[in-house]
Structure 1
């Protein structure tokens, strides 16, 4: 650890060490001596020894250095070493090093992610970037929480790793992992638990019908009207809602489609083993509601780019409502009506030129009015359309539908009549998808003349909300 710290550019000057000591002292709640006249290495030895004697001290040291250097080479090396330190502690001094050569053979990112999800029973969805081999993953998983009478996640991972090595024809390496695992299970009295895990792990689990979600949020810069913060969250845990935040970027408006395309491709690579459907959710501010996000492209650098809606169900959500807690109570109430009694839920068609005051009043009085059909497309300069949209948000309406060009189009009214038909709104997204597929079937040469190309749907689930965005200091792309 001292060797890795010596490679840090931050710690090669007194100002850098002072910054680290200040942050670390605050986080640990313990006074640390700054570097003064002594040479760096003896001081670093004392610093590491001090951190080893404090609960969470070593992870805290690396975290504080990461605040300054982010993912530098030194920080990455330290993260690996902290995982190894904690693994040795978890296994109470058991010799882990015989496992290293065999586990280093496992380097497929998708295979490792699949094994981790199975070993953790879907509690761990993704791995940090430095977990690029089976060895790094094993060390990371050591000490991860397991339910009572469950096999520790790291040992379940070893069992799956042995199976993978056996499939790859590396029988000696596989048997080495199995012998080590059996010895550890005997040492901890977990023979029956391991046998039960192996029976369960060999059974093929059915594909989950719970979708995975990629949530993409655009937040206005606040100063430059042409720049936005792009944040995203990935959620693939079929057992619960645990969105994983990604990096936040600061971008020009013109760069948003290309960055979304890149993000989706990276997510597909991460999720290459998933068997459940994927839903894209765009959390949009007012200024971007006119953007046809579901028709943005995939593989635009190829000879045959195609729209996102060909692969995904695409929803819009409201950034303003997510940020305005005072609007959340009626939102939750309306959603509860839609969820618990979908057959009683119904839509409300707003008439052109009607009072936004009376619109909001009627939506609030009718607790089963959960879908608002807008009379004008939002995201324009029209003050009427903005008041109509805000009335729906304040009334808690979780669903809104509009035509991106002309809400008075007879074809739009026909499509909406089908989408919000009287049998309830539970199939709102599915029926909207059918109209979009009809437009897709026509092809690029004629789909602009089909109403499915212009349908926009906001479907806002208050129980499915993103967590905090990624790093506060977002990278700026020129």
Structure 2
């Protein structure tokens, strides 16, 4: 089956991308189109000719064609639009087209069109499970736009595979053919198998295909690399007590590839309920995940002292569950994440903590006596490259008080870890607990030790845990190598 010529396949994909772009409100309006064009030029690291005529479509055709000449130019095109529109319908329509372009490239300009109806007709059940098996667990979660067998196949075609291993996209076709046979669709299964046989012959992978089809695949051992659910609250700069809630799920044990979810605009009082729903959705997606899960809250100044680890799951039941019962929970600073000028010392201090924890130490802040104290605190933290953890003398509040200024000094100095009592840092029980947490075993397992104190509080039950210091421990632990991507609204 010869199919369409390579040039026609490529041209039709370009036209489909332009069709999708013309449906975008960003692209159709002059001012927002210029914002997108500037972002695209930055992603490509090359100028993009501004729109200067009265016919938009020819200009879009030219822009898309120029993007196809750059390595990942089409991905840059969609990513730059995503910065403006977030998870819009246009963005969701464009990503599968980018995947298709890359799939055509992977299969040496082969026309893949005859596979589309077969894979589109497949049910959507267990697609993520099939993708994990086809990739030998390297792909833990599919992007939101992968809703059909066709879209999963295209996505997997862009995944790398080690030498001597069947590419994930071909393994997925083999699994899909097996499922179609079980459903009594022998003709459809043969379309996929014929394609696989042809590609295996072309790529010299006949043996790999045969081995795949006759192999059993035991469940891999549980990964020691945690999965992360990152939840970010970004303040609305116009409306008071309103926030943009964004989140990312990361479960790829082979690398940092967070999957972004939808951004929503909420009032402060709505945040706990929204987080509860996010966690429930993540648990549904990760039902067969065998890794531990860590929650990270990326918070602005005014929410850093919010006891997010004690927010609830299943709040509608008679016995809600605090998040801390099921997850390690840490907070992070959105101000530092968005302030690139603070990142160099942050990376230095983090490498010190990660690579030489036994040679690292904490710095106990004292109650401020005068304004000069905060200057000298920042100076001391910057001069002492081994100081990677700051113990606050007061909790951070909504205002510009002592706790907040201590955190500011720590952020400017690059300190990746900070610990405080949510209400009274002068409490002798807190002082004793921190002394034990920071004892001379090194600082490599701060979060685990804080978690142990929280579990001790949990063991007392809801009626008594408020009297335990573990109920009030807050820890900011900021890894500069784990950043959400793409960035949230600014």
Q: CA deviation at 1:243?
A: 2.1
Q: CA deviation at 1:231?
A: 2.1
In structure 1, the residue matched to 2:448 is 430
In structure 2, the residue matched to 1:134 is 149
Residue 269 (structure 2) aligned to one of 254, 257, 275: 254
Q: CA deviation at 1:371?
A: 1.3
In structure 2, the residue matched to 1:206 is 221
TM-score (norm: length of structure 1): 0.79
In structure 2, the residue matched to 1:442 is 460
Q: Which deviates more, 268-277 or 47-56?
A: 47-56
Residue 393 (structure 2) aligned to one of 375, 380, 386: 375
Deviation readout 1:389-422 (Å, 9 max, x if unpaired): 2222222221111110111112212221221111
TM-score (norm: length of structure 2): 0.77
Residue 458 (structure 1) aligned with residue 481 (structure 2): no
- Note the residue ranges of structure 1 that are not aligned, 5 or more in a row: 37-43, 473-478
Q: What is the number of residues matched between the two proteins?
A: 459
Residue 279 (structure 2) aligned to one of 251, 264, 278: 264
Cα RMSD of the aligned pairs, angstroms, is 4.3
In structure 2, the residue matched to 1:286 is 301
**Equivalent residues in 2 for 1:302-451 (5 A)?**
302-353=317-368, 355-381=373-399, 383-451=401-469
Contact 1:248-1:469 within 8 A present in 2 as well: no
Deviation readout 1:306-358 (Å, 9 max, x if unpaired): 11111111001112222223322222222222112211222222223453333
Q: CA deviation at 1:295?
A: 0.9
Residue 104 (structure 1) aligned with residue 121 (structure 2): yes
Using a 3 Å threshold, how does the CA distance of structure 1 residues 184 and 362 change in structure 2: closer, same or farther? closer
Using a 3 Å threshold, how does the CA distance of structure 1 residues 165 and 424 change in structure 2: closer, same or farther? farther
What's the secondary structure of 2:266's corresponding residue? Answer: strand
Using a 3 Å threshold, how does the CA distance of structure 1 residues 201 and 358 change in structure 2: closer, same or farther? farther
Residue 113 (structure 1) aligned with residue 131 (structure 2): no
Using a 3 Å threshold, how does the CA distance of structure 1 residues 82 and 312 change in structure 2: closer, same or farther? closer
Q: CA deviation at 1:121?
A: 5.2
In structure 2, the residue matched to 1:39 is none
Using a 3 Å threshold, how does the CA distance of structure 1 residues 225 and 101 change in structure 2: closer, same or farther? same
Q: Which deviates more, 373-382 or 141-150?
A: 141-150
Using a 3 Å threshold, how does the CA distance of structure 1 residues 399 and 150 change in structure 2: closer, same or farther? same
Q: CA deviation at 1:291?
A: 0.7
Residue 157 (structure 1) aligned to one of 156, 172, 176: 172
Quote the Cα distance in structure 2 between the aligned partners of 1:381 and 1:99: 57
What's the secondary structure of 2:222's corresponding residue? Answer: coil
What's the secondary structure of 2:462's corresponding residue? Answer: coil
Using a 3 Å threshold, how does the CA distance of structure 1 residues 149 and 31 change in structure 2: closer, same or farther? farther
In structure 1, the residue matched to 2:45 is none
- Note the residue ranges of structure 2 that are not aligned, 5 or more in a row: 1-11, 42-47
Q: CA deviation at 1:209?
A: 0.6
Quote the Cα distance in structure 2 between the aligned partners of 1:234 and 1:12: 27
Residue 185 (structure 1) aligned to one of 181, 187, 200: 200
Quote the Cα distance in structure 1 between the aligned partners of 2:128 and 2:348: 38
Quote the Cα distance in structure 1 between the aligned partners of 2:235 and 2:274: 16
What's the secondary structure of 1:343's corresponding residue? Answer: helix
Quote the Cα distance in structure 2 between the aligned partners of 1:369 and 1:231: 32
What's the secondary structure of 1:348's corresponding residue? Answer: strand
Quote the Cα distance in structure 1 between the aligned partners of 2:332 and 2:18: 47
Q: CA deviation at 1:123?
A: 5.6
What's the secondary structure of 1:250's corresponding residue? Answer: strand
In structure 1, the residue matched to 2:7 is none
Quote the Cα distance in structure 1 between the aligned partners of 2:405 and 2:85: 45
Quote the Cα distance in structure 2 between the aligned partners of 1:146 and 1:32: 44
Q: CA deviation at 1:458?
A: 0.7
